[in-house]
C-alpha cells in the first residue's frame, strides 16, 4: 500500500511591494517558450498536491476544481492564501498566467508571483474580482528575478481581507514562459560503490553505467593511487530500475584491509571506500542516535549530541508552544476529555506523533535487542552503548530509547469510563502544517488528538506486550503496567474491529490510514502469546498464521503481519513455526533472485516495478529478512544479500549517493526536516550522522520531484532537496529498519585472523581435462578462528566444477572457499580439509600463494 503521508509548506505572508500588471499587455522581453511552470493546474488527478493552503484556508478538489474554503475576518489578502512552491522564473523572460475562477460570494482575490522566503520579493501581482459565474483570466508579465526549478520561486492566490466566510474555486491554472527547459535528471557519476566500506571475507561488488556492451578493464587502487588488483567488468545489459546499461565489477578476492581505496574504469573513478572489518560497526549507534534527536518533551542536550544539534524541549507549554500535556480532540470529535501525551518521538520532519508509525519503530528497536539476546551480540546494545541520559542505569540502552516511545503509546489510550475506553488515539499533531524551518520549541500551532482507531489500538497492544517481557528483568512495575495496557487494548480492538482512521485527516499531519487490520490483529495476538502463553487460539486462527504476510515488497507500518511472525520464530513456545521458517527462507530466496538480475541490487520489488514513498525503509526491512534467513540457516548467500543491501543504501545505487547522512563520501545532507534545515537557513545544521533518507519514489508526490524528475526510471527518482518530501523525508520507522540491519551487519563482519599464522597443504590428482584437489588448512596461531576464508589463484584455465566441505566460488582465476557452519571454528593447532574438482585444458601448476582471512599462509 502506498504511503499517504503528505507534507505542505505553510509559508509566511508575501508582503512585498504591489506590482500592477495590465491584462493582455504585450511583453518587451524575448518571446517565451511554451514551457508549463505550474504542476497539477488542471487537478485532473483528483488530488490538490502540490498546492498547499495556509492559515484560514482549507482546500480540496471537488468536481474537477480546486476549491478553497476561506475563513472571514482577516485584514489582508495574504492572511488566507494557497499556492505552490519551487516555481521557476527567469529574469527578463515573459510569462503568461491563465486561470478560471469563481466564488460563492463575489470578492476580490490576488494572483501573486514571487519569492517564498525572506525577503519575499514580488515579481508580479494582479487583482481580480471573482463572482459565482466562472470567468477566465489571462495576464502577461516579465520576471525581474531568477529562481531555478525547485528553488524559492512561488505562485500563490491571496483570498483574505474579507469580513465573511467564502469558497473560491480555481481550475486550469497555467503559467507558461521562460526559455530554460524544465529540470530533468541530474547526471550521476557512473561508477558506484559502497562509499563506506567492504568487509574482509565477504563479497565486494560495484556497478558501472556505460554504453559499452563488452567487458572493460577495471583497476583497484590503494590510497596512494597504486594498482593493487585488476579485472574485467561483467556486462549485465539494460537495467530496468535505473534505465541504464550496467556492468558489474567483482573484486571480492581482494581482502587487504585499508582506507581510501578507489575503483577506476578508464577515466571514471569511484568514491573512496575502506576495506575493513570495523568501519561500519558504529553505524548501528548513529542510526539509533536518531531517536534521541527525535524525542519530544525533553531538551536535546549538547553533552549527547554536540552543540550544533542541541535544542530546547519542544511542546512543553513554553511560549509559543501550546504544549502536549492537555491535548483535546479535534473540534469535530467532541470526545469530552484531554490527554497528557508528552514524550514520544516526533515521527519525521514534522512535529506529529503517530501511534501506527511509532509502533513498528519501537517494536523494531525492541526486537533488535531481543534477537541479539537470543542469537546475537547482546552486549553491543547494552547499558552505556548509546549517548542518552539513561545510560548507566543498568538497563540496555536500546530498551531505554524504545521506552521513551512506549510510554507515549500508553498515554494515547482512551481513559476508563469513556465510551471507547482502552482504544488508542491514532495520532496527535498540529492543527495546520508548519513551515520549514520550525524547531519544536518554536511551534505555535494548537495540538489536537485524532479519533481512536483499531490499527492504533493493536499497535499499542503489540508493542506494549513485547515491552512487558523485555522489561520484566529490569522494572517489574513497568512490565506489569505495559501488559495490562496491552491486554486492555486488545480487548477494546476486538470490541471495535472496524474503526479505520480517516484517510482525509491529513491537515497538519499525515493521515496514516490503513483499511485492513487483519495483520495488526495477528501481530498483537502473537506478541501477547509470546509474553503470556495465552491467545494461542487467536494466533492459530488468523489467516496470516504460518508466514502468509511475507512478500517481496516487504513489510512496513501498514503491513505488520511479519512482525508477529518474527517474534514467534525467535521465541516460539509450543506453537509450530515450520511455516514461518519456510516463508522467511522462500522470501529471502526471492529477494536474492531479484537482486541477481539488477544492476544495482536491492531486495525490493513491487508489482509494477515502481518505487514508492519510503522505498529505502522497505529495502532495509527486506535486508532484515535476509539477515533472519542467515540466522536460521548459516547459509552464506543470505549473509551476502544482507550486506549487498547495505551496499545499495551506502552508495551502490544509480544516484551515486549514500542515503545515510554522515556516512560515505557523498551522503544525503538536505533531508526534509524542520530542524535539520541548513539548505533553507545556514545557521541550522544538516542531518546528523545516521539518518536514512526515504529514497526513490517514482510516483513523484511533491512539487520538487514533479519539476525535476519527470520520466525518471524508478531507482533514479530521487534528489537531495529539503522540499522533496516524498523522496527525502526521514521517519522513525525507516531509521528503525536501518538500526536493525546495521546492528545485524555489525555482528556478522569477519574479523581478520590474529597474528600467528596459517599453513596450507595442497595436493592434486590430474587427468587430461580436469583435476581433483585436496587442501589441508591448519591454524598455526595461538587464537581460535571463528570463521575463515581461504583464497588462492590459478595460473592457467582451470574452472571450478564443484567443491566440498566449504562454500566455493571462482572469479576469473581467483578461488575462494568460505567455512561452513560445522567447520568454521578451528582451534590453535587444528586443521580442516576441503577439496574441489575443476576442469582444465592444459597443464596444471599447483598454486603456491594462499591466504586465510587476508593473511598470507605458509605451505607444506
* Residues designated as active site: 350, 672, 720, 729
H or E stretch including 624?
Answer: helix 615-633
Residue pair 16/120 in contact (Cβ under 8 Å)? The answer is yes
Name the grid cell of 735: 531509521
Question: Please, what is the end-to-end C-alpha distance for the chain in angstroms?
Answer: 60
Give the C-alpha separation, 36 to 539, whole Å: 55
Phi/psi of residue 525, nearest 5 degrees: -65, -40
What b/e sequence results for 768-807 when a residue is b if at least 16 CB atoms lie within 10 Å of its CB, and e otherwise?
eebbebebebbbebeeebebbbbbbbbeeebebeebebbb
Angle at 293 between CA 288 and CA 299, to 5 degrees: 135
Torsion of CA 579, 581, 585, 591, to 10 degrees: 80
In the beta sheet, which residues pair with residue 238? 245
Angle at 296 between CA 390 and CA 370, to 5 degrees: 50
Residue pair 175/38 in contact (Cβ under 8 Å)? The answer is yes
Give the C-alpha separation, 791 to 194, whole Å: 23
Name the grid cell of 437: 524551518
Got the DSSP string for 394-425? SS-HHHHHHHHHHHHHHHTBPPTTSTTTT-EE
196: helix, strand or coil: coil
Residue pair 25/126 in contact (Cβ under 8 Å)? The answer is no
Question: Quick count: other Cβ atoms within 10 Å of Cβ 854?
Answer: 18
Torsion of CA 428, 430, 434, 439, to 10 degrees: -70
Half-sphere exposure of 350 (CA within 13 A, CB side): 27
742: helix, strand or coil: helix
Give the C-alpha separation, 252 to 234, whole Å: 14
C-alpha distances in angstroms, 19 versus 38, 113, 156, 237, 469?
A: 21, 10, 14, 56, 67
Give the C-alpha separation, 317 to 304, whole Å: 24
Question: What angle, rounded to 10 degrees, do the helices at 518-532 and 476-495 form?
Answer: 140
Return the sign of the alpha-carbon dihedral for residues 410, 411, 417, 419. negative
Give the C-alpha separation, 576 to 572, whole Å: 7
The candidate with the shortest Cα–Cα distance to 80, out of 59, 103, 56, is 56
Angle at 482 between CA 479 and CA 486, to 5 degrees: 135
Give the C-alpha separation, 230 to 251, whole Å: 8
Amino acid at each position: 500500500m502506498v504511503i499517504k503521508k503528505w507534507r505542505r509548506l505553510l509559508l509566511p505572508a508575501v508582503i512585498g511591494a504591489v506590482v500592477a500588471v495590465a491584462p493582455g499587455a504585450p511583453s518587451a522581453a524575448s518571446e517565451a517558450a511554451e514551457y508549463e511552470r505550474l504542476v497539477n493546474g488542471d487537478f485532473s488527478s483528483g488530488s490538490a498536491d502540490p498546492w498547499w493552503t495556509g492559515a484560514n484556508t482549507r482546500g480540496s478538489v471537488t468536481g474537477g476544481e480546486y476549491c478553497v474554503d476561506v475563513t472571514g475576518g482577516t485584514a489582508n489578502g495574504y492572511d488566507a492564501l494557497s499556492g505552490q512552491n519551487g516555481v521557476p522564473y527567469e529574469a527578463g523572460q515573459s510569462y503568461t498566467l491563465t486561470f478560471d475562477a469563481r466564488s460563492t460570494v463575489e470578492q476580490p482575490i490576488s494572483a501573486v508571483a514571487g519569492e517564498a522566503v525572506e525577503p519575499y520579493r514580488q515579481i508580479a501581482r494582479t487583482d481580480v474580482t471573482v463572482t459565482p459565474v466562472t470567468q477566465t483570466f489571462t495576464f502577461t508579465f516579465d520576471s525581474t528575478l531568477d529562481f531555478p526549478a525547485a528553488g524559492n520561486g512561488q505562485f500563490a492566490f491571496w483570498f483574505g481581507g474579507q469580513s465573511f466566510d467564502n469558497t473560491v474555486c480555481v481550475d486550469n491554472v497555467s503559467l507558461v514562459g521562460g526559455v530554460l527547459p524544465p529540470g530533468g535528471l541530474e547526471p550521476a557519476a557512473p561508477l558506484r560503490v559502497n562509499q563506506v566500506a567492504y568487509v574482509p571475507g565477504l563479497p565486494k561488488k560495484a556497478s558501472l553505467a556505460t554504453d559499452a556492451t563488452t567487458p572493460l578493464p577495471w583497476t583497484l587502487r590503494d590510497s596512494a593511487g597504486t594498482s593493487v588488483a585488476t579485472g574485467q567488468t561483467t556486462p549485465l545489459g539494460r537495467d530496468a530500475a535505473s534505465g541504464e546499461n550496467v556492468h558489474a565489477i567483482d573484486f571480492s578476492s581482494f581482502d587487504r584491509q585499508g582506507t581510501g581505496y578507489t575503483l577506476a574504469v578508464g577515466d571514471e573513478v569511484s568514491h573512496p571506500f575502506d576495506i575493513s572489518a570495523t568501519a561500519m560497526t558504529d553505524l548501528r549507534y548513529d542510526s539509533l542516535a536518531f531517536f534521541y534527536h527525535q524525542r519530544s518533551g525533553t531538551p536535546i542536550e549538547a553533552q549527547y549530541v554536540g552543540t550544533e544539534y542541541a535544542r530546547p524541549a519542544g511542546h512543553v507549554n513554553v511560549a509559543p508552544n501550546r504544549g502536549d500535556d492537555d491535548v483535546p480532540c479535534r473540534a469535530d470529535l467532541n470526545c469530552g476529555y484531554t490527554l497528557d501525551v508528552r514524550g514520544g518521538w516526533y515521527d519525521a520532519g514534522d512535529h506529529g506523533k503517530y501511534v501506527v508509525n511509532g509502533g513498528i519503530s519501537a517494536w523494531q528497536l525492541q526486537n533488535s535487542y531481543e534477537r541479539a539476546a537470543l542469537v546475537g551480540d547482546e552486549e553491543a546494545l547494552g547499558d552505556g552503548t548509546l549517548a542518552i541520559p539513561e545510560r548507566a542505569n543498568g538497563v540496555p540502552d536500546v530498551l531505554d530509547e524504545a521506552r521513551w516511545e512506549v510510554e507515549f503509546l500508553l498515554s494515547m489510550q482512551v481513559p476508563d469510563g469513556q465510551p471507547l475506553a482502552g482504544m488508542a488515539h491514532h495520532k496527535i499533531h498540529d492543527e495546520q502544517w508548519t513551515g520549514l524551518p520550525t524547531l519544536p520549541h518554536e511551534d505555535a500551532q494548537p495540538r489536537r488528538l485524532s479519533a481512536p482507531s483499531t490499527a492504533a489500538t493493536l499497535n499499542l497492544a503489540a508493542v506494549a506486550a513485547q515491552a512487558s517481557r523485555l522489561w520484566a528483568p529490569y522494572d517489574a512495575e513497568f512490565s506489569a503496567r505495559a501488559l495490562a495496557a496491552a491486554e486492555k487494548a486488545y480487548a477494546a480492538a476486538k470490541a471495535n474491529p472496524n474503526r479505520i482512521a480517516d484517510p482525509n485527516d491529513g491537515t497538519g499531519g499525515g493521515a496514516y490510514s490503513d483499511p485492513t487490520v487483519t495483520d495488526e490483529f495477528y501481530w498483537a495476538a502473537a506478541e501477547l502469546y509470546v509474553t503470556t502463553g495465552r491467545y494461542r487460539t487467536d494466533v492459530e486462527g488468523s489467516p496470516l498464521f504460518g508466514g502468509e504476510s511475507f512478500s517481496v515488497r516487504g513489510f512496513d507500518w501498514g503491513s505488520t503481519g511479519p512482525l508477529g511472525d518474527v517474534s514467534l520464530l525467535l521465541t516460539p513456545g509450543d506453537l509450530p513455526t515450520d511455516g514461518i521458517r519456510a516463508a522467511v527462507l522462500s522470501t529471502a530466496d526471492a529477494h536474492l533472485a531479484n537482486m541477481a538480475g539488477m544492476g544495482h541490487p536491492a531486495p525490493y520489488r513491487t508489482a509494477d516495478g515502481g518505487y514508492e514513498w519510503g522505498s529505502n525503509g522497505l529495502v532495509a526491512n527486506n535486508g532484515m529478512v535476509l539477515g533472519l534467513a542467515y540466522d536460521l540457516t548459516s547459509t552464506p548467500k543470505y549473509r551476502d544479500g544482507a550486506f549487498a543491501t547495505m551496499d545499495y543504501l551506502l552508495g551502490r545505487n544509480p544516484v551515486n549517493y549514500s542515503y545515510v547522512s554522515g556516512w560515505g563520501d557523498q551522503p544525503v545532507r538536505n533531508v526534509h526536516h524542520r530542524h535539520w534545515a541548513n539548505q533553507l537557513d545556514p545557521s541550522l545544521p544538516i542531518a546528523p550522522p545516521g539518518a536514512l533518507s526515504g529514497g526513490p519514489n517514482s510516483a513523484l508526490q511533491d512539487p520538487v520531484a514533479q519539476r525535476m524528475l519527470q520520466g525518471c526510471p524508478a531507482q533514479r527518482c530521487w534528489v537531495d532537496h529539503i522540499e522533496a518530501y516524498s523522496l527525502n523525508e526521514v521517519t522513525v520507522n525507516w531509521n528503525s529498519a536501518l538500526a536493525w540491519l546495521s546492528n545485524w551487519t555489525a555482528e556478522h563482519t569477519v574479523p581478520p585472523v590474529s597474528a600467528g599464522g596459517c599453513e596450507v597443504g595442497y595436493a592434486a590428482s590430474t587427468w587430461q581435462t580436469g583435476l581433483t584437489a585436496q587442501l589441508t588448512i591448519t591454524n598455526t596461531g595461538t587464537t581460535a578462528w571463528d570463521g575463515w576464508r581461504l583464497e588462492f589463484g590459478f595460473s592457467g584455465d582451470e574452472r571450478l566444477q564443484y567443491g566440498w566441505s566449504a562454500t566455493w566460488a571462482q572469479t576469473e582465476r581467483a578461488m575462494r572457499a568460505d567455512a561452513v557452519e560445522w567447520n568454521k571454528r578451528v582451534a590453535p593447532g587444528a586443521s580442516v580439509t576441503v577439496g574441489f574438482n575443476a576442469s582444465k585444458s592444459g597443464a596444471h601448476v599447483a598454486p603456491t600463494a594462499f591466504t586465510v582471512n587476508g593473511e598470507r599462509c605458509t605451505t607444506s
